[in-house]
Amino acid sequence: MNDITNQSLDEIIKKIKSKEISSVELTKLFIKNIENAKKLNTFVTTAFEQALDNAKKFDDNPNFDQLLPGIPLAVKDLFCTSNIRTTAGSNILNNFVPTYESTVTKNLWDNGAFLLGKLNCDEFAMGSSNETSHFGNVINPVGDKLVPGGSSGGSSSALAADLTPATIGTDTGGSIRQPASFTGTVGLKPTYGLCSRWGIVAFASSLDQAGPMTKTVTDCSLMLEAMSGFDEKDSTSIKKEKEKYSKNLKDNIKGLKIGIPKEYRVNNMPKEIDKLWENGKKILKDLGAKIIDISLPHTKYALPTYYIVAPAEASSNLARYDGVRYGHRSKKGKDLIEMYENTRSEGFGDEVKRRILIGTYVLSSGYYDAYYLKAQKVRQLIKKDFDDNFTKVDAILTPSTPSSAFKIGEKTDNPVSMYLNDIFTVPANLAGLPAIAFPAGLDNKGYPLGLQLIGKVLDEQKILNIAYAFEKNCKFNNEIKKWWV
């Protein structure tokens, strides 16, 4: 039996279908990889026994018509999984075992996949480097001193290290796209409302979206197709027909208009990012796309707007972790208030506390109008920027991050420099638009860099197609040596 764990999900599915490998054999290969990769600290909880049971069930009674037949998948530990501990990377949910399954993971299981384990992430998805997790930082397989990005850092790392054939993350301000770029993988944040939020531990409800993280664009289309869909349990879910992203994936992008927003050429942007972007434009142009310069004038307000809206919602969303009904409860405290204070002091890490404080502040009487309300207004302007331009262009091409993966500990003392990492990714969240990050080259240190395509609302197919065409024509090689084994 050949080790096929380094292959794409699409290739693996072909081998399952052709019975070249059984689901049990495949699952055992991934389990072996995971056991050899403890150094990377990607898994918070494993579900090997259950995975092998499910693999055997599949092999005994296979259904090859499913999108993900007999495929073991590890998922970000922000998705509630029935009877499997779900921590959100936090001490406050250290012992929390849901009795229910998130809609998105259920959709995956309904399409033939099963759970392999739960992947490390920044605490409550608050972070850009996976250094805020209660379960320790995750290491980027690209280099042993590098962060894997965040907040879906366990997901990006596990994927790049062949510990799962594909995975899912959540993206509130770039938490799928930035780690994808840091690891040379593909990550897509769907249109707000395309994937149900039901059963996902909430960070900022108006921004959170689940999405696929994969090795190829084809895999991305497959995963998106499996996980998305209307859910009446989520009031913000979009009611529409399910799309066949994988079947409709095309690499012909002739005549498509690609917008290049001048505001994304930020001060101090490293030359190699600029070069990457130029090269991306060239590849798309050579494929017959038209490159059009555009302006998104409110871009510079996106980051401050995001860092008001997201903490505001988070401060309220995280109020439920009070030790009364589930999760960590402090043994100290002589009355209810002290119990709250101790529970939350012990349960939350510094970054989460920082954001709860910011969020509480911007919603406070006397500050609400100046911060929260103003941020909501600016958010509308940012959205309008995109609406105006999408009458002229089909998609917008930008870098996905201002740099490649940085060193562990490099930015932990400076939250603002950490926040700046989200500068290219937050506008799509604020506007609710789909955006895909895909590998586009390496920097001079040999670390992967990514580009981002932002599409119109529900225009996932188009940005997938463009990324697909790009992928076929970009000589990107993300050979990762398994130094951790």
Q: Does 194 bind another protein (CB under 8 A)?
A: no
CB nearer to another protein: give 210 or 296. Answer: 210
Instruction: Considering the candidates 22, 23, 128, 151, report the single residue annotated as catalytic.
Output: 151
Least separation in angstroms between residue 429's CB and another protein is 12
| Active site (annotated) includes residue 151 | yes
Helix axes 217-227, 103-110, angle to 10 degrees: 110
Using CB under 8 A as the binding rule, the residues of this chain from 50 to 89 that contact another protein are 80, 86, 88
The answer to whether 317 touches 205, Cβ cutoff 8 Å, is yes
Q: Which of 326, 333, 384, 410 binds another protein (CB under 8 A)?
A: 326
Residue 242: DSSP 8-state: P
Q: CA-based angle 403:404:409, to the nearest 5?
A: 95
Least separation in angstroms between residue 432's CB and another protein is 12
| Distance, CA of 36 to CA of 39 (rounded, Å) | 8
Q: Which two tokens stand for residue 207?
A: 């921004």
CB nearer to another protein: give 214 or 305. Answer: 305
Q: Which of 121, 363, 440, 463 binds another protein (CB under 8 A)?
A: 363
Instruction: Considering the candidates 22, 23, 76, 246, report the single residue annotated as catalytic.
Output: 76
Residue type at position 447: Y
Least separation in angstroms between residue 121's CB and another protein is 14
Q: Does 370 bind another protein (CB under 8 A)?
A: no
Least separation in angstroms between residue 239's CB and another protein is 12
CB nearer to another protein: give 367 or 483. Answer: 367
Q: Does 358 bind another protein (CB under 8 A)?
A: no
| Distance, CA of 41 to CA of 43 (rounded, Å) | 6
Q: Is 399 exposed, middle or buried (0-12, 13-18, 19+ CB in 10 A)?
A: buried
| Active site (annotated) includes residue 175 | yes
Contacts of residue 185, Cβ cutoff 8 Å, sequence gap at least 6: 156, 159, 160, 213, 214, 215, 439, 478
Least separation in angstroms between residue 148's CB and another protein is 24
Contacts of residue 121, Cβ cutoff 8 Å, sequence gap at least 6: 76, 77, 78, 88, 89, 130, 133, 150, 151, 152, 153, 154, 155, 169, 175
Residues that bind another protein (CB under 8 A): 80, 86, 88, 93, 96, 98-100, 102, 197-202, 204-206, 232-236, 312-313, 315-316, 318-320, 322, 324-326, 336-337, 340, 360, 363-365, 368, 372
| Residues acting as catalytic residues | 76, 151, 175
